[in-house]
Amino acid sequence: MLVPILEKHRSDLFEARINDITELLGHPDEEELGEQSDKIYIYYVAPGAQCAPGNPRAATNRVMLRSGATGTVTEVILPVQLQ
C-alpha cells in the first residue's frame, strides 16, 4: 500500500518540488487553491465513489500535499481515516 511508504519517507517530501511529486505519483486527483498562492494537491489512496467522474469529493482516504509560492511542498497530510 502507498500510505506506509509515504509515511516512511514523509520528511523527504518536505521541500520537494511539486513537479517531482507529480512525476512520482502522477497528476493529483484534485487540486485546490489555498490562501495567497498556496496550492493543495489531493491524491486518493483507496478506491471509492469519489474516483468516478462527477462525484463529490471525499474527506477520507486521501493524501494532501500543500505547496507554497515557490512550488515546494510545505505540508504533508497523510490519510484521513483509512477504512
CA 61 to chain centre: 11
| 83 within some domain | no
**Residue 21 exposed, middle or buried by CB count within 10 Å (0-12, 13-18, 19+):** buried
DSSP letters, 38-67, are -EEEEEE-S-SGGGSTTPPP-SSSEEEEEE
The count of domains in the chain is 1
Pairwise CA distance, residues 51 & 57, whole Å? 8
pLDDT single digits (tens) 18-74: 999 999 889 998 899 988 889 999 988 877 776 666 666 766 678 899 999 899 999
| 64 within some domain | yes
Tell me, what's the pLDDT at 82?
Answer: 44
CATH at 72: 3.30.1450
pTM over 0.95: no
| 71 within some domain | yes
| 66 within some domain | yes
| 35 within some domain | yes
50: containing domain: 2-77
| 33 within some domain | yes
